[in-house]
Structure 1
Amino acid sequence: MNYDVIVIGSGPGGYVAAIRASQLGLKTAVVERESLGGICLNWGCIPTKALLKSAQVFEYINHASEYGIKTAEAEADFAAVIKRSRGVADGMSKGVQFLMKKNKIDVIMGSGKVKPGNKVEVKAADGSQKEYTATSIILATGGRSRELPNLKQDGKKVIGYRQAMVLPEQPKSMVVVGSGAIGVEFAYFYATLGTKVTIVEFMDNVVPVEDEDVSKQLLRSFKKAGIEIMTSSSVESVDTSGAGCKVQVKTAAGVQTLECDIVLSAAGVVANIENLGLEETGIKTEKGKVVVDEFYNTTVKGVYAIGDIVGGQALAHVASAEGIICVEKIAGHKPEPLDYNNIPGCTYCSPEIASVGYTEKAAKAAGYELKIGKFPFSASGKASAAGAKDGFVKLIFDAKYGELLGAHMIGANVTEMIAEIVVARKLETTGHEMIKSVHPHPTMSEAIMEAAADAYGEVIHL
């Protein structure tokens, strides 16, 4: 079989690239070894949001009296929560199957491997092999849970994110190692359902990639929710020989032993670049990632790579954007290279976190003179009415030209608000233009306008 494009991997990078290729008239196939939609749809972005929604509903019910509603005592049915999450994921995967058929894309089930001469070898689950050729091959094989040397995952007591989504029963206690997006989302989910959760973070702050003000606010909110947090700490070893786990944690004050049922290793992701034929075909890698140029060409002509296996943020929407740019370039269009400094990052714990661009620390390090505006949700009418007053919007401007350098939000539904900032930065909107853009009242999004006004000494509601 000959194709114009073969995509290896059907996650949000791969399937999006395949659809765009088909739209542009290219004969396209996708190679997938597990389930269409990849990790994001089946074991990441989508099912975790379903779990988090169940936790949020449970939290609402438990706080119903604060809204003037009397309810009987709520009980979380852990198995039913997990079942709902899997159902949502299955529905989304079926949606990708439909999109493949609609766009006349061939789906080849099996593990793909690049071979010299623009060939792809696919090994099916039954061990049979078949070879295909393509003018262009796109590698989009994604990532998996990073395994720390002193925290070996056994899938039962020491687990990664996949097992955390389908545990047979709810643990009474859990230690979460790492406080990035995966760590804090699962910490919120399990703690809300009643599990005693302790987060161990190696860095000085939780969610360490975020602005420090956001980290401090999440720390306060999580502590208020009963989650224990140990920063500047590292897990030295885990003893799983007994009924539960004994976790040795090194802190500034010395080594402590934590006892729990389950340890969740949430120390990020590692790229799936093994057994892809990279060495045999001469595709260069560096620090565990495939080396590409701004249009995702690898060091071998006709072979491209996108998503978690290349440099840049390991995010679903980044992979999708890279896939579209890559395919449009293949098809002879003239796409703009992706601006990696205008990529929104979202974390869906409660309160939610959303950010884009420079943190305050990074902007100062880059030599900018700053104007900073901050508007707390405690001063927002909509937030008060919703009973969601935790958090704020923080905007960072270049004092010289008024350029919006970065935005950092923590609070209810802020992941739905960050796109305004991404568009504003893309259009090179200034602080004064944001202040003069009338925002609807009462909304959480008013806080963006108010934060801009605060930066320029014009804030009304503070």
Structure 2
Amino acid sequence: MHIVVLGGGPGGYGAAFEAARLGADVTLIERERLGGTCLNWGCIPTKTILRSAHIVADTRDAAEFGLDSAVASVDVPALRSRKERVVDELVGQVESSAKRLKVKVVTGEGRLAGPKAVEVTAPDGATETIAGDALILATGSTVFRLPDIDHDLEGVWTSDDAVSLSEIPKDIVIIGGGVIGLEFACAYAAFGSVVTVVELMEQVLPGNDKRVVRQTQAALEALGVEFHLGDAVSLVERHDGRMRSTLRSGAAIESDVVMSAVGRMPNAAGFGYEEAGIEFDRRAVAVDEHLRTNIPGVYAVGDVIGGMMLAHVAEEEGVIAARNAVAESEHGAGAGLESVRYDCIPACVYTFPEVATVGSSRDSAKERGIDAVQAIAKFAANGKALGEGESDGFVQLVAEKGSGRIAGCQIVGPHAVETIHEVAVAMRHDLTVRQLAETVHAHPTVSEVIRMACADAAGKCGC
């Protein structure tokens, strides 16, 4: 069978590579470089920048570790060069995987020309139509632009501008206190910028557990970040070579740069989806639990379907969609279809300290009818965290009373984005807090805090 994939980000190349492994002929259409937003403008460049920012922050604390060291200064061209080398290396690896798996990569603008056909316009203007037995849509997302702000105004940035590293501004106003806003706030504060975050909601990281929010905001305030919560930027002007942001509350803030970090939206316009009869759920392409659109043989994955707009979610959806496309082609509609277990997929914030969550908080678990208990263990009692000078934070575990099954976990602290996977695996395979507590953890490691929380939760659950 022949599978056509439109979009070469994590969802698209995840689908293409899995389909190829399953024996399908695959054509992957991408208008720019493989890797999508994540690899070229999002996850990878930001984490590369944050690593440099963490080193700068560490040198400021050198005396606490018994070291006499000058504070690292930022070499913007060198920082940008390193970021580009990392991105280029990973893009090259994706391209190599496509060649190894014999995925045909076609460069050009794709637009639906039929239920399972895509018309591709190459950079030189030439066009061709590529049809398949199944089509997987993976056109990702685009930066959301606030309607009241002139994004073409000099000094107004989006996240794409922030990762380009043209300069380290003396001061920056960041609109949006979600994941994107806080990560850039963390980086630029570490680099020496005066950072102000304006968030419409009454808390940063909207939708997250209150303990997580308090700890994270306090850590960023310690870095020097100032917050205006429950407020909004109503006007952005350029005045005497500087930016002036007027808030709804009446406050006015001057800065070198204003960055809009209010999130992303599905990139579904201009691809002929509506003309082909594909149904939408607001701005997102509508799919069922098996990632099928309303048109037989057409699937959609990643940011274009909304939901958890994360690279690792998109890649998993791509893998599942590819398996389902092959299964339906070989065995008929509805045969042996798979779905994604969203309830045990982690979400991460790469601030200082890191934040990682999976599943439900205690409040949301109770709203789902779960008789939940909560156990908390702090990094302040962990030898590895104390030795590394990163003892702020906690592991908060939520489990079902009686059974001990894990409903969720929230971690704020060192290496949170790595250690959360122990809990995700446990949830995916219905392990209990007792089983994790009985698993010996190496000492000293920060993961011991998870074991401490599990032991406490097991006692509260009675399991």
Shorter-chain TM-score: what band?
over 0.9
- Contact 2:27 2:106 (8 Å CA) reproduced: yes
Structure 1 56/155 Cα, relative in aligned 2: closer, same or farther at 3 Å? farther
CA distance in 1, matches of 2:258, 2:241: 13
- Contact 2:196 2:226 (8 Å CA) reproduced: yes
- Contact 2:404 2:458 (8 Å CA) reproduced: no
Give how far 1:434 is off. 1.9
Aligned to 2:295: 300
- Contact 1:397 1:404 (8 Å CA) reproduced: yes
CA distance in 1, matches of 2:209, 2:28: 39
Give the RMSD, CA atoms, in angstroms: 1.5
- Contact 2:134 2:297 (8 Å CA) reproduced: yes
- Contact 2:26 2:104 (8 Å CA) reproduced: yes
Amino acid at match of 1:362: S
CA distance in 1, matches of 2:410, 2:65: 29
- Contact 2:265 2:306 (8 Å CA) reproduced: no
Structure 1 456/105 Cα, relative in aligned 2: closer, same or farther at 3 Å? closer
Q: 1:404 aligns with which of 403, 406, 410?
A: 406
Structure 1 155/338 Cα, relative in aligned 2: closer, same or farther at 3 Å? farther
Amino acid at match of 2:313: V
TM-score by length of 2: 0.95
CA distance in 2, matches of 1:449, 1:73: 37
Aligned to 2:394: 392
Structure 1 stretch displaced more, 80-89 or 359-368: 359-368
Aligned to 1:430: 432
Give how far 1:443 is off. 0.7
- Contact 1:32 1:110 (8 Å CA) reproduced: yes
How do 1:149-188 and structure 2 match up within 5 A?
149-154=147-152, 156-188=154-186
Give how far 1:74 is off. 2.3
- Contact 1:312 1:340 (8 Å CA) reproduced: no
How do 1:92-171 and structure 2 match up within 5 A?
92-154=90-152, 156-171=154-169
Structure 1 119/423 Cα, relative in aligned 2: closer, same or farther at 3 Å? same
Give how far 1:401 is off. 2.3
Structure 1 stretch displaced more, 220-229 or 399-408: 399-408
Confirm whether residue 47 of structure 1 aligns to residue 45 of structure 2: yes
Give how far 1:155 is off. 6.7
- Contact 2:117 2:132 (8 Å CA) reproduced: yes
How do 1:252-401 and structure 2 match up within 5 A?
254-332=249-327, 334=336, 336-401=338-403
Aligned to 1:69: 67
Amino acid at match of 1:268: G
CA distance in 2, matches of 1:178, 1:23: 41
Q: 1:208 aligns with which of 203, 206, 209?
A: 206
Structure 1 45/155 Cα, relative in aligned 2: closer, same or farther at 3 Å? farther
Q: What SS does structure 1 have at the residue aligned with 2:150?
A: coil
CA distance in 1, matches of 2:208, 2:153: 30
Amino acid at match of 1:200: V
- Contact 2:291 2:339 (8 Å CA) reproduced: no
Amino acid at match of 1:386: E
Structure 1 380/155 Cα, relative in aligned 2: closer, same or farther at 3 Å? farther
Identical amino acids, percent of aligned pairs: 38
Give how far 1:260 is off. 0.7
TM-score by length of 1: 0.95
Amino acid at match of 2:42: G
Confirm whether residue 440 of structure 1 aligns to residue 442 of structure 2: yes
Aligned to 1:9: 7
Q: What SS does structure 2 have at the residue aligned with 1:355?
A: strand
Q: Deviations over 1:420-449 (max 9, x none)?
A: 011101111122222212211111000001
Give how far 1:234 is off. 1.1
Give how far 1:388 is off. 0.4
Q: What SS does structure 1 have at the residue aligned with 2:299?
A: strand
CA distance in 2, matches of 1:378, 1:293: 45
Give structure 1 stretches of 5+ with no counterpart. none
CA distance in 2, matches of 1:383, 1:212: 23
Give how far 1:240 is off. 2.2
CA distance in 2, matches of 1:151, 1:267: 12
CA distance in 1, matches of 2:359, 2:154: 39
Give how far 1:169 is off. 1.6
Give how far 1:117 is off. 4.7
Structure 1 stretch displaced more, 136-145 or 147-156: 147-156
